C-alpha cells in the first residue's frame, strides 16, 4: 500500500487534517482486515510467538514478523465462516509492507517488537480503553507507575502511524513531548494515563486517535433526515447542524469538503452528532427533563481500574491433563484400576487421570482398597465380566494409539524448532531468499501435519472418554446386581469359582504394603 492507493480514495479533499488522518488509517485498517481482530487476539498472537515478555528495546527479524502476521490471519480464518475467510498470503504481505514502511530501520534488517505492539494494538478493533490498558502494561513498572523514558518511545511509535499515511506535517513527534503529557516528577497510574489520552478534545497531536475510534462506530449509524447541501436522504456517518442557520443539516461528506449552499458559510459554528433521535423522541426527552425536580445524576465517563497490577498466577504446580500413562508415571493397568476405584469411592475421574501428586504408597493403598472391595462382592455374572474386559482392552488400545501420536507430535515439534534455528542462522549469514522460502514452505507443511495429528489425538481422547463412561455404567450395573441379589450380604456372601484369583491378587498387594 503506497501513496497512490490512498490517492485513489480521494482522502486529500478533506479540509481537516484530523479527519483526513483518521479516514486514511480506517481505510488501512479495513483493507488489512484488522477491523475483524480485537486486542485480545493480538495479545494471544504475541504469546504464541514468544513476544509477550520482551523489552521495548528488543528487535526481531523481518521473517519473524512475517510469521507473527501469518499466525494472526490464520487464527482469524479459524473464527470466520468458510465463505468469509480471507487470503492469508495477500493480506499478510500488505500489512507487512505497511509496517515496514512505518517502522523499518536500517540497522541489520531488524524491527523493534515494541513498535509492532503499538501499531497492531492501535489499528485493531475493540475499545480504546482496552487498547490503552494493554499499552500501559508495556510501559509501566511492577508498582503500576509509568516509566517516563518508555512513554517517549510510545509517543514516537504512535505518531509514526500518521506519518505512514503521509500526514507527518500535521502530526509529528518532537523532543520533550512526553513531559507535556506526563510530568517527570509525577506518578502516573493507568487511570491517569487513560484520562490524559482519551478525554475530549484530547491532546492536539492525538486528535486523530479518538476520531479513528469514532469512525468505526458511526459507519452503521443512519440519520433519517436530508442533507441541506446535497439533498442526500438517510445518510450514514457523522451529522452536522449549523448553530446559526435554521435547521441547516449537513452530511459528513459535504462538511469535510466544505461544500455549502445559501447563506451558510464555512466559518459558521456547527455541532457534530454521532447518533440520531427522531423529533418525537427528542421532544419527549426534553419534556422529561423539564419535569424533573432534581438534576440528573452525572455518569462517570471513564471506568476506573485498579492502580496496582494484579499478581501473576503461579502455574508451576499445574499439571496439564493427559490420559497417557507416561505423564502419570504408572502403568496402564494401575492407571485403569485407579480410575475404577476412584469412581467406586466417590473420587472425581478427571482429576485422577491428570493427578501426579499421589505417592507410591497411596497408590498401593487405593489398589488394595479396591481389591478388598472386589473380594466382598459376588462376581457371578459372566456377561458383565466379559464386557468389562473388552472395554478395558479397547481403552488400552486407545492409550497406545494416543501415546504413539504424542511421540510423533514431539518429533514434529523438535523438527520445527530445528528448522526455526536453522532459518535464523541462514538469515544472519546472508543466505538468499530462495532458501528462506524453502524453509518456510517446509515449516508450514510441518505445522499442518502437526495440526492433523493433534486433531486425531483429540478424537481418540474423546473415544477413550466414551469407553470410560461405558465402563462406569457397567460397574454401576454390577453394583445394582449385587444389591438385588439375595446372596450379596457382606457377612454371608458365598464365593464363586472365580474368587480365588482375586484373593491371590489381594495377597500380592498386601506384600507391597
Listing DSSP states for 111-149 in one string gives EEHHHHHHHHHHHSBS-HHHHHHHHHHHSB-TTS-B-HH
Confidence at residue 361, expressed as pLDDT on a 0 to 100 scale: 57
φ/ψ bin of 234: left (φ > 0), alpha (ψ from -120 to 50), beta (otherwise): left
Residue 424: band (very low, low, confident or very high) from pLDDT cuts 50, 70, 90 = confident
Q: Are 162 and 171 in contact (CB under 8 A)?
A: yes
Position of cell 513476544?
51
Query: Which is higher by pLDDT, 275 or 376?
Result: 275
Give the model's pLDDT for residue 295: 52
Q: Has residue 66 got a pLDDT over 90?
A: yes
pLDDT of residue 485: 54
Least confident among 117-126, 303-312, 325-334, 463-472: 325-334
Cα pseudo-dihedral 220, 222, 223, 229, rounded to 10: 80
Query: C-alpha angle with apex 336: 332 to 338, nearest 5 degrees?
Result: 115
pLDDT the model gives residue 397: 73
Q: Give the pLDDT of residue 418.
A: 81
Amino acid 370: pLDDT: 67
Indicate the range of 248-257, 304-313, 356-365, 469-478 predicted with least confidence. Answer: 356-365
Most confident of the ranges 114-128, 349-363, 383-397: 114-128
Measured CA to CA, the distance from residue 196 to residue 190 in angstroms comes to 10
79-93, 207-221, 308-322, 434-448 — which is least confidently predicted?
A: 308-322
* SS3 sequence of 345-377: CCCCHHHHHCCCCCCHHHHHHHHHHHHHHHHCC
CB atoms within 10 A of CB 199: 12
Mean pLDDT of 220-234: 92
Burial classification of residue 282, based on how many CB atoms lie within 10 Å of its CB (0-12 exposed, 13-18 middle, 19 or more buried): exposed
Strand, coil or helix: 169? coil
Q: What is the mean pLDDT of the chain?
A: 76
Q: At what angle do helices 148-164 and 17-31 cross, to 10 degrees?
A: 80
| CA gap 175, 505 in Å, rounded | 82
**pLDDT band at 42; cut points 50, 70, 90:** very high
Q: Are 112 and 97 in contact (CB under 8 A)?
A: no
Q: Name the grid cell of 402.
A: 494416543
**Residue 491 pLDDT:** 44
Query: Degrees (nearest 5) of the Cα angle 329, 332, 336?
Result: 110
Q: What is the pLDDT of residues 109-131, one digit of tens each?
A: 789 999 999 999 999 999 999 99
**65 close to 116: Cβ distance less than 8 angstroms:** yes
pLDDT of residue 331: 42
More confident residue, 29 or 424: 29
> 369 near 347, Cβ under 8 Å?
no
68-77, 240-249, 324-333, 430-439: range with lowest mean pLDDT: 324-333
Give CA–CA dist 58/161, Å, rounded: 20
Which residue, chain included where needed, has cell 422529561? 288
Distances 207 to 22, 122, 256, 309 between C-alpha atoms, Å: 9, 14, 16, 29
Residues 139-158, mean pLDDT to the nearest whole number: 92
Find all residues with CB under 8 Å of 31, minimum gap 6, and list them: 1, 94
Please compute the mean of the pLDDT values over residues 392-421 and round it to a whole number.
Answer: 76
Q: Which residues are CB-neighbours of 63 under 8 A, at least 6 positions away?
A: 423, 424, 427, 436, 440
- Look at residue 393 in the predicted model and tell me its pLDDT: 63
* Residue 245 DSSP label: S
pLDDT at 119: 96
Copy the grid coordinates of residue 159.
505518531
Q: Does 371 have pLDDT greater than 50? A: yes
Per-residue confidence (pLDDT) for residue 292, from 0 to 100: 58
Give the pLDDT score at 411.
81
Least confident of 89-98, 103-112, 134-143, 500-509: 500-509
Q: What is the pLDDT of residue 250?
A: 95
The lowest-confidence range among 2-6, 145-149, 298-302, 357-361 is: 357-361
- Cα separation of 46 and 113, whole Å? 10
Q: Beta strand pairing status for 222-226 and 233-236? A: antiparallel
pLDDT at 385: 52
Is there a contact between 50 and 196 (Cβ–Cβ < 8 Å)? no
Q: Please tell me whether the peptide bond between 201 and the residue prior to it is cis, using omega within 30 degrees of 0.
A: yes
Q: CA-CA distance, 283 to 295, in Å (whole number)?
A: 18
Report whether pLDDT(356) > 60: no
Asked if 482 contacts 377 with a C-beta cutoff of 8 angstroms, the reply is yes
Region 222-228: mean pLDDT is: 93
Spatial separation of the C-alpha atoms in residues 193 and 133, rounded to whole Å:
9
Distances (CA, A) of 435 to 67, 416, 444: 16, 16, 14
- Global model pTM greater than 0.75: no
Instruction: State the number of CA atoms in the 13 A half-sphere of 193 facing the CB.
Output: 30
Asked if 35 contacts 216 with a C-beta cutoff of 8 angstroms, the reply is yes
Going by pLDDT thresholds of 50, 70 and 90, the confidence category of residue 290 is low
- Provide the sign of the torsion angle of the four alpha carbons 394, 397, 399, 402, taken in this order: negative
Residue 73 has pLDDT above 70, yes or no: yes
Q: In this structure, what C-alpha cell is assigned to residue 428?
A: 544472519
Q: Look at residue 257 and tell me whether its pLDDT is greater than 80.
A: yes
pLDDT at 254: 94
Give the alpha-carbon dihedral of 19, 21, 27, 29, to 10 degrees: -120
Nearest to 131 by CA among 38, 21, 35: 38
Q: How confident is the model at residue 334 (pLDDT cuts 50, 70, 90)?
A: very low
When mean pLDDT is compared over 213-222, 471-480, 490-499, the highest value belongs to 213-222
pLDDT for 155 beyond 60: yes
- Cα–Cα distances (Å) from 391 to 336, 383, 387, 394, in that order, read 11, 13, 6, 5
Label residue 321 by pLDDT band (50, 70, 90).
Answer: very low
Q: Which residue has the higher pLDDT, 75 or 452?
A: 75
- Of 318-327, 375-384, 415-424, give the range with the top mean pLDDT: 415-424
pLDDT band at 469 (very low <50, low <70, confident <90, very high): confident
Amino acid at each position: 500500500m503506497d501513496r497512490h492507493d490512498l490517492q485513489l480514495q480521494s482522502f486529500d479533499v478533506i479540509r481537516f487534517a484530523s479527519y483526513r488522518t483518521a479516514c486514511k488509517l480506517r481505510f488501512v485498517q479495513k483493507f488489512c482486515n484488522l477491523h475483524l481482530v480485537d486486542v485480545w487476539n493480538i495479545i494471544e498472537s504475541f504469546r504464541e510467538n514468544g513476544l509477550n515478555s520482551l523489552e521495548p528495546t528488543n528487535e526481531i527479524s523481518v521473517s519473524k514478523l512475517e510469521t507473527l502476521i501469518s499466525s494472526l490471519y490464520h487464527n482469524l480464518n479459524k473464527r470466520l465462516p468458510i465463505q468469509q475467510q480471507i487470503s492469508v498470503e495477500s493480506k499478510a504481505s500488505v500489512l507487512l509492507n505497511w509496517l515496514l514502511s512505518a517502522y523499518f530501520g536500517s540497522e541489520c534488517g531488524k524491527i523493534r517488537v515494541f513498535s509492532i505492539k503499538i501499531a497492531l494494538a492501535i489499528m485493531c478493533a475493540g475499545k480504546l480503553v482496552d487498547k490503552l490498558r494493554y499499552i500501559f502494561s508495556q510501559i509501566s513498572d511492577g508498582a503500576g507507575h509509568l516509566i517516563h523514558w518508555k512513554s517517549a518511545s510510545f509517543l514516537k511509535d504512535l505518531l509514526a502511524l500518521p506519518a505512514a499515511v503521509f500526514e507527518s506535517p500535521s502530526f509529528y513527534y518532537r523532543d520533550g513531548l512526553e513531559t507535556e503529557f506526563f510530568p517527570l516528577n509525577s506518578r502516573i497510574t493507568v487511570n491517569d494515563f487513560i484520562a490524559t489520552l482519551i478525554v475530549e478534545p484530547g491532546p492536539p497531536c492525538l486528535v486523530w486517535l479518538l476520531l479513528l475510534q469514532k469512525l468505526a462506530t458511526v459507519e452503521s449509524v443512519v440519520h433519517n433526515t436530508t442533507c441541506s447541501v446535497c439533498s442526500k436522504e438517510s445518510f450514514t456517518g457523522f451529522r452536522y447542524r449549523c448553530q446559526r442557520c435554521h435547521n441547516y443539516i449537513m452530511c459528513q461528506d459535504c462538511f469535510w469538503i466544505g461544500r455549502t449552499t445559501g447563506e451558510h458559510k464555512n466559518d459558521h459554528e456547527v455541532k457534530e452528532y454521532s447518533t440520531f433521535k427522531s423529533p418525537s423522541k427528542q421532544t419527549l426527552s426534553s419534556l422529561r427533563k423539564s419535569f424533573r425536580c432534581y438534576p440528573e445524576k452525572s455518569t462517570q465517563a471513564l471506568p476506573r481500574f485498579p492502580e496496582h497490577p494484579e499478581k501473576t498466577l503461579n502455574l508451576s504446580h499445574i499439571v496439564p491433563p493427559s490420559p497417557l500413562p507416561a505423564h502419570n508415571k504408572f502403568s496402564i493397568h494401575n492407571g485403569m484400576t485407579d480410575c475404577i476405584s476412584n469412581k467406586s469411592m466417590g473420587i472425581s475421574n478427571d482429576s485422577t487421570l491428570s493427578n501426579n501428586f499421589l505417592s507410591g504408597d497411596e497408590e498401593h493403598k487405593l489398589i488394595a482398597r479396591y481389591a478388598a472391595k472386589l473380594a466382598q462382592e459376588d462376581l457371578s455374572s459372566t456377561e458383565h465380566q466379559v464386557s468389562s474386559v473388552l472395554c478395558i482392552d479397547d481403552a488400552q488400545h486407545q492409550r497406545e494409539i494416543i501415546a504413539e501420536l504424542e511421540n510423533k507430535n514431539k518429533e514434529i515439534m523438535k523438527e520445527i524448532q530445528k528448522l526455526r534455528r536453522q532459518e535464523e542462522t541462514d538469515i544472519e549469514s546472508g543466505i538468499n531468499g530462495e532458501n528462506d522460502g524453502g524453509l518456510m514452505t517446509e515449516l508450514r507443511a510441518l505445522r499442518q501435519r502437526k495440526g492433523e495429528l493433534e486433531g486425531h489425538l483429540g478424537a481418540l481422547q474423546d473415544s477413550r472418554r466414551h469407553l470410560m463412561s461405558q465402563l462406569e455404567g457397567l460397574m454401576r450395573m454390577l453394583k445394582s446386581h449385587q444389591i438385588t441379589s439375595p446372596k450379596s450380604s457382606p457377612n454371608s456372601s458365598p464365593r464363586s469359582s472365580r474368587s480365588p484369583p482375586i484373593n491371590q491378587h489381594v495377597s500380592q498387594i498386601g506384600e507391597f504394603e
